[in-house]
Amino acid sequence: MNDVDYGSYETTVEQSKRLEKAIQSDPSSFRVLTGDRPTGRLHVGHLFGSLENRVRLQSLNVPIFIVIADYQVLTDRDHADNIDDNVYHLVVDYIASGLEPEKYRTYIFPHSLVPELNQLIIPFLTLVTNAELNRNPTVKEEIQASSQQQINAGMYVYPVHQAADILFCKATVVPVGKDQLPHLELTRTIARRFNIKFKTDTPVFPEPQPLLSNAPTILGLDGSQKMSKSRNNAIMLSASEDETAKCIKTAKTDVDRLITYDPINRPEVSNLLLMASLCTNEDPHALASEIGDAGASRLKSMLTEVLIEYLRPIRKRRQELEKEPDYIRSILKNGAERAREVAQKTLIEVRRAMGMIYE
Ligand code: TRP
């Protein structure tokens, strides 16, 4: 058996481009699964980086399963504070941003509500070695970044749980960022090893492919790292218009008054231009020349105006949804019901393949 190949990024980029074309030409032959950890409210980086991509796939009528990975939150911290509140607001952010479970085949559920999914973890754990889990580069980084006194075993095995998240519904496409690629490679390995070890006429699991977002990464307002709430450099979807304006005022820029779009040499200014361009659908170079030598303050006031405008309908919807807790809970309940139907079917196939049907 070959070791898990934690992979080359360049080949994945190429494959992902081909996959995107294949989805465009025959959307309903694919099944998408993606997910988030419920660790807090979502921000503009999530909106442009992943939410809008999901909304786009949804409107192509691809079935989309969205797992809210509540158990995963327990792997890198010593407390379980606010998980329910975070799950609730994650759904609010999803729906406000345009996911529509009532209209499309979009299913949103926390994995703790789908016992059959979790049961897949046990056989899956027997298909990987400790050494492979220890080598996972994303887990290594998370251990480095963790504030825990002691790293719990969940940290090492959550990628196997994630494989269950993906394989329970036999997903073929997983939209992910670069940091999740090792988990996807592990998932593909588990699918392959399962099909070989428990051979049936037709293989139980497909090998899912990663779909890298072609949306550019949005940096935080400090311009140095990815936008992230914990780095305190984010514009939250839940912020008010005044807070948004204040937040943008604090954004880091540089001393050159002439505004140009140059992501390598001027990351801070370029990131602001990029956000403005995503809101207006105008080329960032064109926006830069409109501002010319009016400087960073003009750039900031322009971004404030277009971003507030862009977020207005999302924020209005957010406020309405916050008053409808029963509706939000019903989204999770319906999503989990559908996920359970699918997971039960898969678990029966898995038990049959393993020779564990006794009735
Ligand atoms: N690990 C992902 C993250 O931290 C969340 C996640 C859980 C996920 N299960 C998944 C992502 C399945 C894609 C597919 O963001």
Q: Whose CA is nearest to atom 3 of ligand 1?
A: 36
* Overall number of domains in the chain: 2
Q: Report the alpha-carbon distance of residue 38 to residue 356 in Å, rounded.
A: 35
Looking at residue 225, its pLDDT comes to 87
Ligand 1 centre to CA of 37 (Å) is 7
Q: Which two tokens stand for residue 273?
A: 């231009």
Distances from the Cα of 224 to the Cα of 10, 139, 158, 227, 270, angstroms: 24, 23, 29, 9, 11
Ligand 1 contacts (CB < 6 A) are 33-37, 67, 69, 72, 162, 165-166, 174, 176, 180
pLDDT in tens, 59-113: 999 999 999 999 999 999 988 899 999 999 999 999 999 999 999 999 999 999 9
Q: Report the alpha-carbon distance of residue 201 to residue 173 in Å, rounded.
A: 23
Atom in ligand 1 nearest the alpha carbon of residue 111? 9
Is the pLDDT reported for residue 153 higher than 70? yes
User: Domain check: are 299 and 346 in the same one?
Assistant: no
User: Domain check: are 209 and 83 in the same one?
Assistant: yes
pLDDT in tens, 274-309: 999 999 999 999 999 999 999 999 999 999 999 999
Q: Whose CA is nearest to atom 14 of ligand 1?
A: 34
CATH code at 192? 3.40.50.620
Confidence of residue 2 (pLDDT cuts 50, 70, 90): confident
pTM: 0.94
Is the pLDDT reported for residue 258 higher than 70? yes
Could you tell me if residue 280 is inside a domain?
Answer: yes
DSSP lists the bridge partners of residue 106 as 64
CATH code at 290? 1.10.240.10
User: Domain check: are 158 and 233 in the same one?
Assistant: no
Looking at residue 1, its pLDDT comes to 64
Looking at residue 248, its pLDDT comes to 97
Looking at residue 230, its pLDDT comes to 82
Could you tell me if residue 115 is inside a domain?
Answer: yes
Residue 117's domain spans which residues? 9-215+325-354
User: Domain check: are 155 and 275 in the same one?
Assistant: no
Could you tell me if residue 205 is inside a domain?
Answer: yes
Q: Whose CA is nearest to atom 6 of ligand 1?
A: 35
Confidence of residue 315 (pLDDT cuts 50, 70, 90): very high
Sequence-ordered list of residues with C-beta below 8 angstroms from that of 19, at least 6 positions apart, any chain: 173, 209, 211
Could you tell me if residue 245 is inside a domain?
Answer: yes
User: Domain check: are 123 and 264 in the same one?
Assistant: no
Is the pLDDT reported for residue 35 higher than 90? yes
For ligand 1, pick from 50, 86, 87, 165 the residue to mutate: most ligand atoms within 8 Å of CB. 165
H or E stretch covering 104 = none
Q: Whose CA is nearest to atom 2 of ligand 1?
A: 36
Q: Report the alpha-carbon distance of residue 57 to residue 98 in Å, rounded.
A: 11
